[in-house]
Structure 1
């Protein structure tokens, strides 16, 4: 019944043509799955025949035959890559640390480290946080939504990111015994996974996205270890190549294209297929996987990325994932000698330019929309909101001076994926990049104002995934404010998906964002049974943006409260004044009747708020901000980071200000405490209300108002 209800909810967001296409995809998918269910796996004999190997003894020579274009993971590139890594401070040390952790069977999943015991086959089926063991039944019959548990943890383990980390150690280490240990550790991990997870059984086969990314990691790691004796051994290599065939056949049969709106999962499917086809082109089925994936990636780049380069997901963290996926697809296509087209490359470059626009100093991105900490490059540990490395990577990939920023080094990932040539290209670029003062994406619903000290990122536009809102929140007119590269006002994040549905919806709610809540109502209704659905209801839109020498303005609106008994139209006006060092946020409510309002400002973790009496100097300064209210109440709120006063907030007089407890999640599965400044009032529309944040250090003196 839940599936049927969700179908009708989604159907309202799709055109008749899209609904017809959806029905056709689902019928075709059912046929593919039926054929896959009735087909046998590839036998060792068929594998040898397809590869043209005279026998098991010749398998490694044929499987790892050199081609004119070397993939990044080809061991033949080891010497040049390691030499280039040595020029990046700490890169080799970081690689060895990751490899050592994998060798010691210490795996980091969503901010926590877990030790996986040798031979613990249940570990691949267990949520290590709750202890729930998913049964080893056919994946299609598996019940994934178990209260208190989350399949994303075993899925993250099953992606086998750590086998690539072992490969990094194998390349970087100089001690031959250590290199041999890394190679043997790789073989042991692979054997254990295959013993524990037969094709199509259990939680590791329930999500084709993770099956595809596992195949990509396994294929890349095989090439990284391709001169290791234990990897070239016929018994191991036969089993590993059979596993690649089984993985790709499974992904092809279970392409995630039958959803109402295909998303990053389908892109992952194609990236996995193309990576395996590029690295092992003579595997049975590889030619078809490569053609299917290249065609699919070209199509999804146009469907899932807006012309301005912003992902259609409605989430900045998912934009990061999409950049990594589409980039890996591009590199795999190059290795396979396939062309994805100029349009693909240009749009990918615009995706990196969008990251450049919304990242603050230090590379931290605002957190708008869902955040599941997803990555496609298992090459360096990064915080979930660290997106800035994509900009210098893009500079090297596209040889773009517009992405080459002064003082920003090349990330480790660029040398691993682009090799010594990437470092050379980057070094030759002139440092000409300048981050834009204003960025707007009407299609993507994300807009940025950048001053001398401050960055303001505003959410206003259609919900993601073409109106279905799978990774969107009730965050219309919400914003993040970063000062000097550090977050001040934040989006509290995601926390979890299905482990705790109450928490999931609480962090998607209007009250969990820096926006105005009216009469205790949501901007758009949240269905408590649907954690990945938020149909368009608020209809947010950008009204205008203006850019002066020292003042930047942005206005946006939403219609979420037109459904109230006494309807309201909400507009929000932002003014960022670099001269005054201030941000004005003013809400205009058009309508009639009395309404209870609550305007929230969620503080970054580590900040504390203190209410005190405002000073005349603060009143005067606030009134000098263009477009700001000209009257304020008696209270001011100081925002402190340790012993540093970061900002002072003033509010219009009809609002009562307080400080409340809140939550903050910097990444998936992570949750901590934070504070929320809340301004409440009972107002009669039409009315204006708002706040001013004073953040320049020049006039944050604490003088009480006489």
Structure 2
């Protein structure tokens, strides 16, 4: 384990958190050999069931049922794709060997198994075996969800047999507290939910042996999550995942010793976290639309099951879920796609175990289904399991138009038409992230993302990788990769680990005015201590687009770089001092600066040389990065973004 990682992590902790971590470490050490083995978790009984889901599945539209059948068939063929990686294809007769749970599909290496105590596996800084994220993804068992739905709808025996084989194999290879399946609470929460979906949808088709194995797994998961909760700086989406897992197990297995306690805990914590992690204006506190959707989906599932069980959760939860749906409606294009902002690792709760290009909008459609209201914004054309289980409306609403400022979350969104083209702008004046480590934030203060005619044009670079990303992880969340200004290539906020920051830029919304001649101004202090300057950016409506004015208060005539990262679908070239942005050979927009500066347009190359874009986790592609470099005078530097006539 890296000493520097420990030092930086400690710096982000309060004295109370340090005391908690010391106690947790002692608790993990003392548990070695004492709470392992399946025997202590054995419990017989009926298949655990979450109320309301099976009934909704049976009444789902035929189009959703067809998607379930297709997803089940894909999994039964021995294929699995996630996080931009194709797993080695497995024989349909041998889908779940003992080694498959430890396989890294990128390196081909095998992570430690049951021979290792779970807390002895140093996964954070492992580079030889690969990225534990991939191995965890398969161990979430989310591919069992479409198999269970298919079995419930059609009685597909192959699906039932595959579920039973998977459960038997996982049970044998992953005894409690042994191996990598037991070293992260969020993974236990997600796996518990997958197994509860299985027993809820097709439990009556499973053998007693399989049901009893699942019951033991769920019991052990409940004990682990209750014993090692995410707290303090780790109490983000991980906390919600763990509490959701505990709560749903408690509802489905009320006879367990911890059930009553964790039912009460879940109701309290979910109500509190809904208001912490979904801000009053609907923005997710972690700043990422997809992480916001991830958190919202956990809370939504718990709310649905609690209500169907006859004891709803607190009413303020519904208010925050609806606010989140309203926020996503402002970000969505007509197909429910939202801009990539901050991290996205493609985490899902209810799923057909395949890539979802419009996950956040899909969750919002499910929120509408749960609330019994029409969708607030566009919904994706793709259908998924949550549409069936939560009765999502299959039609969405038109995206809102105009200007909307989300003051709590820190975004201003403009949606308008200029020169016959739809112009969507998202201006980021948000904080870096959530809690002291801001784990999933990017150093993107005052960045701008732009879509034209529903197609992303100026984009956030994306995520690419987590633990194994190394310098690439830093690039994709660094300031130079984002559509904002940087000084001397320095990040606005200072990284101190793959999920930690030692100094955080503070942002401020200065002014905003609406109507046709809209204007919005914001600033951040990320460069004040190092360079003696405040970066202030003002966006103003123009007849054919908008203008960006960048100013450096306190240090005039300082050299700076202003960056715009293009989506891979667009090209760019310099023409007479302006930049022409093209799609399929046709000029869509131009960028021009009033002030003299050096313009560079480069795609790919080594880190820092040119533009890269990550459309999904684990994938990066070359894309043009436009860089203007010059002196920022006291009056500032103005860039005009002008659309051509459609």
Using the size of structure 2 for normalisation, the TM-score is 0.90
CA distance in 2, matches of 1:408, 1:522: 35
**Pairwise mapping of residues 16-31 of structure 1 onto structure 2 (< 5 A)?**
19-20=15-16, 23-24=19-20, 27=23, 30-31=26-27
Query: Do structure 1's residue 542 and structure 2's residue 509 form an aligned pair?
Result: yes
Find the counterpart in structure 2 of residue 240 from structure 1.
214
Q: What is the deviation of 1:155?
A: 0.4
Query: Do structure 1's residue 655 and structure 2's residue 634 form an aligned pair?
Result: no
Find the counterpart in structure 2 of residue 617 from structure 1.
none
Change (3 A) 1:32 1:676: closer
Query: Do structure 1's residue 391 and structure 2's residue 394 form an aligned pair?
Result: no
Computed over aligned residues only, the root mean square deviation of the Cα atoms, in angstroms, reads 2.7
CA distance in 1, matches of 2:189, 2:488: 46
Larger-gyration structure (1/2): 1
Q: What is the deviation of 1:36?
A: 8.7
Q: What is the deviation of 1:29?
A: 7.9
Partner SS for 2:467: coil
**Pairwise mapping of residues 101-180 of structure 1 onto structure 2 (< 5 A)?**
101-114=74-87, 115-116=89-90, 118=94, 119-136=96-113, 137-144=116-123, 145-147=125-127, 149-173=130-154, 179-180=156-157
Q: What is the deviation of 1:337?
A: 3.5
CA distance in 2, matches of 1:223, 1:209: 21
Q: Any unmatched runs of 5+ in structure 2?
A: 604-610
Find the counterpart in structure 1 of residue 303 from structure 2.
330
Change (3 A) 1:162 1:124: same
Query: Do structure 1's residue 582 and structure 2's residue 555 form an aligned pair?
Result: no
**Pairwise mapping of residues 206-285 of structure 1 onto structure 2 (< 5 A)?**
206-228=183-205, 231=206, 233-257=207-231, 259-285=232-258
CA distance in 1, matches of 2:589, 2:41: 70
Q: What is the deviation of 1:409?
A: 6.9
Q: Is the 8 A contact 1:520 1:596 kept in 2?
A: no
Q: What is the deviation of 1:482?
A: 0.7
Query: Do structure 1's residue 469 and structure 2's residue 477 form an aligned pair?
Result: no
Q: What is the deviation of 1:221?
A: 0.5
Find the counterpart in structure 2 of residue 55 from structure 1.
none
CA distance in 1, matches of 2:22, 2:541: 49
User: Which of 34, 37, 48 does residue 38 from structure 1 map onto?
Assistant: 34
Find the counterpart in structure 1 of residue 402 from structure 2.
437
User: Which of 299, 307, 328 does residue 272 from structure 2 map onto?
Assistant: 299
Q: Is the 8 A contact 1:361 1:484 kept in 2?
A: no
CA distance in 1, matches of 2:41, 2:176: 19
User: Which of 538, 561, 564 does residue 527 from structure 2 map onto?
Assistant: 561
Change (3 A) 1:535 1:350: farther
Query: Do structure 1's residue 511 and structure 2's residue 472 form an aligned pair?
Result: no
CA distance in 1, matches of 2:528, 2:204: 66
Change (3 A) 1:404 1:523: closer
CA distance in 2, matches of 1:358, 1:686: 34
Partner SS for 1:211: helix
Partner SS for 1:588: strand
Q: Is the 8 A contact 1:557 1:572 kept in 2?
A: yes
Find the counterpart in structure 2 of residue 93 from structure 1.
66
Change (3 A) 1:166 1:288: same
Using the size of structure 1 for normalisation, the TM-score is 0.83
Find the counterpart in structure 1 of residue 8 from structure 2.
6
Q: Is the 8 A contact 2:101 2:138 kept in 1?
A: yes
Q: Is the 8 A contact 1:517 1:523 kept in 2?
A: yes
Change (3 A) 1:27 1:161: same
Q: Is the 8 A contact 1:95 1:380 kept in 2?
A: no
Partner SS for 1:395: helix
Partner SS for 1:260: helix
Q: Is the 8 A contact 1:261 1:465 kept in 2?
A: no
Q: What is the deviation of 1:245?
A: 0.8
Find the counterpart in structure 2 of residue 645 from structure 1.
587
Partner SS for 1:600: strand
Give aligned pairs, total.
625
CA distance in 1, matches of 2:69, 2:327: 32
CA distance in 1, matches of 2:23, 2:122: 23
CA distance in 1, matches of 2:348, 2:484: 29
Q: Is the 8 A contact 1:324 1:376 kept in 2?
A: yes
Q: Is the 8 A contact 2:403 2:413 kept in 1?
A: yes
Change (3 A) 1:7 1:151: closer
CA distance in 2, matches of 1:263, 1:7: 16
Query: Do structure 1's residue 485 and structure 2's residue 454 form an aligned pair?
Result: yes
Find the counterpart in structure 1 of residue 469 from structure 2.
500
CA distance in 2, matches of 1:93, 1:46: 37
CA distance in 1, matches of 2:489, 2:17: 39
CA distance in 2, matches of 1:533, 1:458: 24
CA distance in 2, matches of 1:222, 1:360: 37
CA distance in 1, matches of 2:238, 2:380: 32
CA distance in 1, matches of 2:379, 2:97: 46
Q: What is the deviation of 1:260?
A: 2.4
Q: Any unmatched runs of 5+ in structure 1?
A: 49-58, 614-634, 699-706
CA distance in 1, matches of 2:400, 2:447: 22
Q: What is the deviation of 1:188?
A: 0.7
